[in-house]
A and B are shown apart, each in its own frame.
Chain A
Amino acid sequence: ILNVEQSPQSLHVQEGDSTNFTCSFPSSNFYALHWYRWETAKSPEALFVMTLNGDEKKKGRISATLNTKEGYSYLYIKGSQPEDSATYLCAFDEGSGNTGKLIFGQGTTLQVKP
């Protein structure tokens, strides 16, 4: 059974703080690593799809890095804002190519206090 672990489970920060979370995944048979943001009462929204070791992606104040050899990815949020409050999910594509079967972690729930 493939496991995708995320830590911490939850995080409370003050507005303006920078923060980061970790996603650990199996380092063998890597195809892609997805990051999603899931706000309460909404549906998951794609942030990044990462495919190459050493990949770094950025979208505004949010960025992510990928290390496929050791099986982890970091998501960074610079200068957190209340609107960043959400659950951040990572998902590992473990399929033998072209299957799209994503294994999701349990998520890191971020609460940003004004």
Chain B
Amino acid sequence: DSGVTQTPKHLITATGQRVTLRCSPRSGDLSVYWYQQSLDQGLQFLIQYYNGEERAKGNILERFSAQQFPDLHSELNLSSLELGDSALYFCASSEGLPPYNEQFFGPGTRLTVL
């Protein structure tokens, strides 16, 4: 158990819908990262927050947005869902700023878009 929690564990929804994935980092960790794992691709970096501020963006679609709240939990919002958004979404956290801190991954949220 890494100490990072993610909810829900599974999510099944329809195309065109909007969902919110939630992540609570390890106690004391200020950095939160979101990753997407699709069937045909490796882990893809989406976005990173540090202490409430966005620090880095990867190939995150405009339909996706995220934020980190004052209590440091983070939410990833996915809207106008398409079949291709079906994937495993991981949240990770680290103590401070990269690049020297290892990232601790949560159990992931498996999103299925029908």
Contact = CB atoms under 8 A, between A and B. Distances in A.
B39 to A, nearest CB: 12
Interface stretch (B12-20, B67-75, B76-84, B105-113): B105-113
B43 interface: yes
Contact of B101 (A42, A49, A106): A49
A82 to B, nearest CB: 22
Contacts of A51: 99-100
Of listed B45, B55, B98, residue having the most chain A CB within 10 A: B98
Interface residues on B, range: 20 to 34
A51 B106 CA distance: 24
B2 interface: yes
B56 to A, nearest CB: 4
Interface of A: 31-32, 34, 36, 42-46, 49, 51, 89, 91, 93, 95, 97-107
